[in-house]
Structure 1
Amino acid sequence: MGCCLRRLQLLSTCVAFSLGASVGTWKGTIGNWSMFIWCFCFVVTLINLIVELCELEDHFPFSWDNFLITCNCYSALLCLSASIIYPTTYIQFLPDSRYRDRTITSTAFSCLAFVAYAMEVAWTRAQPNMITGYMATVPGLLKGLETIVACVIFVFISSPYLYLHQPALVWCVAVYSICFLLSSVALLLNLGKCDNRLPVPFPIFQVVLTLLSVLLYATALVLWPLYQFNQKFGGQPQRSSDVSCSDRLTSLVCTWNQRLAVASLTAINLLIYVTDLVFSVHLDFVSG
């Protein structure tokens, strides 16, 4: 079952990447993100398949099962993000043509890759006597989502002119970076089995980090829309006022759309952090 799913993952990511390359997806920053995801997932899955076919799992100094389920969870989340971002930034701007058909097909195979990775995670967890990796738990998935949404935000704010003109917007970028690092630290400590080396209990450490991230993201949720869309603070309240949005370039996302995407992703990630905080408090302090 696992071998069949990995072959499906290889096929779907390869087709999605190939079709994306045929329509020039790599020309835009947002398109580069999707292309990177499909290529990265294909390479990682291929390496994992070769390792298992050659029975080299025992040669690694870490638990291969935990590593594999971590890769599959991250690949599923990455393919899910590509399946959402790619069509919303390309398909709606393409005229009816063979390029549009290829883009739609590429999106369909990206969704198929997500399903294949999710199915392998579920199948692995269903195995008897299987030690579930941290990424396959609810806290692990939430932490993975937090880092991936932050990466997507970084893609949309890759142009410095979106925020360098206002100190408040620079603060928002700092918030995204700080919270990404905090989530990554918590994730790496769990995956590396180093959570017991901290001077404080890890549940308390994790709750404090998540609470700090919630407070920081709350400021970004207020400041980013205020300074990007409020005319009193130099923002552009209407999309029609942005000249870059009138060109309807298929390989680039106009500035106003990037600002709106970052505002939406900020709200989404704040919701994920709040869910993570509530779940961690209930799991470690209320239930315990």
Structure 2
Amino acid sequence: MPLITFPTSQLLWVRVAAVLFTCVAFSVVAQGGALPHGGMADWCIFCWAFSFACTLLVLLVEQFGLQARIPVSWSNFPITIACYAALLCFSASIIFPVFFLKDQHYNKEVRDHRIASTVFSCLATVVYIAEVSLTKARPGEVAGYMATAPGLLKVCQTFVACVIFILVSDPVSYDQHAALKWCMAVYCICFILSMAVVVLCLGECTGCLPIPFSKFLSAYGLLAVTMYLTATIIWPVFQFDKQYQGRSRASSNVIAVAVLTALNFLLYLADLVYTARLVFVSV
């Protein structure tokens, strides 16, 4: 498969900036941020460290011309990493100040370290968005699936599902009714299938499916939209309706899950529309 060529000078500097910003974000807070162990602190550190390591890998591979030696599709891998990194840094840019800057009383040095990490996390988010914008497929351009709108939507779908898993598991909020367990099944099934598509594209294994990849995407997209539509309706009904809720009040996690479920439904709907256009236009 031919590699996609981009204006390397601009893309190179964007990736160098991403490596520097993420490195500073976790280095500064690790040195003087006085963060507690576990919970959201570890999540933010993971977001920055993962993005730094993966972007550095992409940078080194491309600079040394080792694309052919890497056992992944290089037309799909860099933009997938950039999209995940943008979402991870964006989440850290929101979570970190909310948990570790708002209403916190620390000495000036610790607070300055945390403010610096927040600023560099925001800068990293911007440059990763710029990288995705530079490397995504343009109209009429031959590119890997992950560089197209449906491919990028797959990344967003899996990321939102991961956030949902975190919210529903601490504390567990889906074991009160069978309907809520169905919602959890929807999240798991759709996440597994979306992640399977990402892995198949990265490994260039789409030809291993027993049916054409385009038909698989269309069938799966329709199934996912239908399933998420049920979850979008069922989750708030069984969590917010007093008839099923009992005396307990809906927590902020439950409300967030309802919002993210509706968001993922819209992402899957947009994915289905884009996939249908790609399939029928190509036919």
Out of 136, 159, 164, the position equivalent to 1:148 is: 159
- After TM superposition, the score normalised by the length of structure 1 is 0.79
Distance 1:214 1:79 in 2: 27
5+ unaligned residues in a row in structure 1: which ranges? Answer: 240-255
Out of 192, 195, 199, the position equivalent to 1:188 is: 199
5+ unaligned residues in a row in structure 2: which ranges? Answer: 1-8
Counterparts of residues 138-287 of structure 1 (less than 5 Å): 138-159=149-170, 161-234=172-245, 256-285=251-280
- After TM superposition, the score normalised by the length of structure 2 is 0.80
Contact 2:137 2:147 in 1 (8 A): no
Distance 2:247 2:204 in 1: 47
Q: Which amino acid aligns with 1:46?
A: L
Out of 73, 81, 106, the position equivalent to 2:83 is: 73
Distance 1:104 1:212 in 2: 44
Aligned to 1:252: none
Distance 1:93 1:259 in 2: 24
Residues 106-162 of structure 1 show CA distances to partners (whole Å, capped at 9, x for unaligned) of 3332221122223233344599xx963322211111111101111111121232532
User: Does 2:51 correspond to 1:56?
Assistant: no
Alpha-carbon distance, 1:187 to partner: 2.2
Q: Which amino acid aligns with 1:67?
A: F
- Cα 1:178/1:56, change in 2 over 3 Å: same
Aligned residue pairs total 269
- Cα 1:287/1:3, change in 2 over 3 Å: closer
Alpha-carbon distance, 1:81 to partner: 3.2
Aligned to 2:26: 17
Residues 220-261 of structure 1 show CA distances to partners (whole Å, capped at 9, x for unaligned) of 21222222222221256857xxxxxxxxxxxxxxxx111111
Distance 2:119 2:221 in 1: 35
User: Does 2:28 correspond to 1:33?
Assistant: no
Residues 64-112 of structure 1 show CA distances to partners (whole Å, capped at 9, x for unaligned) of 4542233223222332333344445555454697466554443332221
User: How large is the Cα RMSD of the aligned pairs?
Assistant: 3.0
Distance 1:224 1:100 in 2: 39
Out of 117, 120, 124, the position equivalent to 1:106 is: 117
Distance 1:154 1:16 in 2: 26
Identity of aligned residues (%): 46
Residues 193-224 of structure 1 show CA distances to partners (whole Å, capped at 9, x for unaligned) of 33233332222211111111111112221222
Moved over 6 A (4+): none
Distance 2:41 2:247 in 1: 25
